């Protein structure tokens, strides 16, 4: 697999409640940061989507925690689409220390296009696929899934 170039970076402001009694960001909070990154990514890449009708749902998510994030760290979440199928796509995200460039956590998820009116999955609209490929600067279409 080719190395992913992260074109989308969102700085994250750490809040008092993000830090647990051990002095580091609690592992459950990382998923909130990844959600912020996804939201901003799709707002930028597919700005014309009617989110009242069309949705994207998470069907699988995982994280590999590499290093602790402390309350004094300056961090950002980076987001990229690594693969696109007919109804789903794969996201790779990572939390980085913006001062050192150290990768603190790598998250991956599988997202599915979802019709909010019919409550069922649906094919990814071609304009979404084209917008993602254009933003990523590469073809990310893969097999059928």
Report the CATH number at residue 124.
Answer: 3.10.129.10
Half-sphere exposure of 69 (CA within 13 A, CB side): 32
Tell me if 2 is assigned to some domain. Answer: no
Tell me the residue range of the domain where 83 lies: 14-136
Tell me if 50 is assigned to some domain. Answer: yes
What is the average per-residue pLDDT within 79-89? Answer: 95
Half-sphere exposure of 120 (CA within 13 A, CB side): 3
Closest Cα partner for 63 from 33, 105, 115, 12?
105
What's residue 145's pLDDT? 44
Tell me if 38 is assigned to some domain. Answer: yes
Answer whether 107's CB lies under 8 Å from 80's CB: no
What's residue 52's pLDDT? 80
CA-based angle 44:85:82, to the nearest 5?
55
What's residue 2's pLDDT? 60
Tell me if 5 is assigned to some domain. Answer: no
**Segment 43-80, tens digit of pLDDT:** 999 988 888 888 899 999 999 999 999 999 999 999 99
Tell me if 118 is assigned to some domain. Answer: yes
Q: pLDDT band at 144, cuts 50/70/90? A: very low
pTM for the full model?
0.91
Tell me if 26 is assigned to some domain. Answer: yes
Tell me if 128 is assigned to some domain. Answer: yes
What's residue 140's pLDDT? 82
- Helices marked H in the chain: 27-45, 126-136
Q: pLDDT band at 143, cuts 50/70/90? A: low
Tell me if 105 is assigned to some domain. Answer: yes
**Segment 4-45, tens digit of pLDDT:** 899 999 999 999 999 999 999 999 999 999 999 999 999 999
**Considering its fold, how many domains does the chain have in total?**
1
Beta bridge partners of 115: 54, 120
Q: pLDDT band at 1, cuts 50/70/90? A: very low
């Amino acid at each position: 697999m080719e190395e992913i170039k992260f074109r989308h970076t969102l700085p994250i402001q750490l809040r008092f409640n993000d830090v647990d009694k051990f002095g580091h960001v609690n592992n459950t909070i990382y998923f909130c940061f990844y959600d912020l990154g996804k939201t901003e990514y799709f707002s930028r890449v597919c700005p014309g989507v009617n989110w009242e009708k069309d949705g994207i749902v998470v069907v699988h998510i995982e994280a590999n925690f590499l290093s602790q994030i402390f309350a004094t760290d300056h961090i950002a979440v980076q987001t990229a689409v690594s693969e696109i199928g007919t109804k789903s796509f794969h996201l790779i995200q990572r939390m980085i220390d913006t001062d050192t460039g150290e990768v603190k956590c790598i998250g991956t998820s599988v997202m599915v296009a979802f019709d909010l009116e019919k409550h069922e999955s649906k094919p990814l609209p071609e304009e979404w696929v084209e917008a993602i490929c254009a933003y990523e600067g590469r073809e990310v279409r893969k097999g059928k899934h």
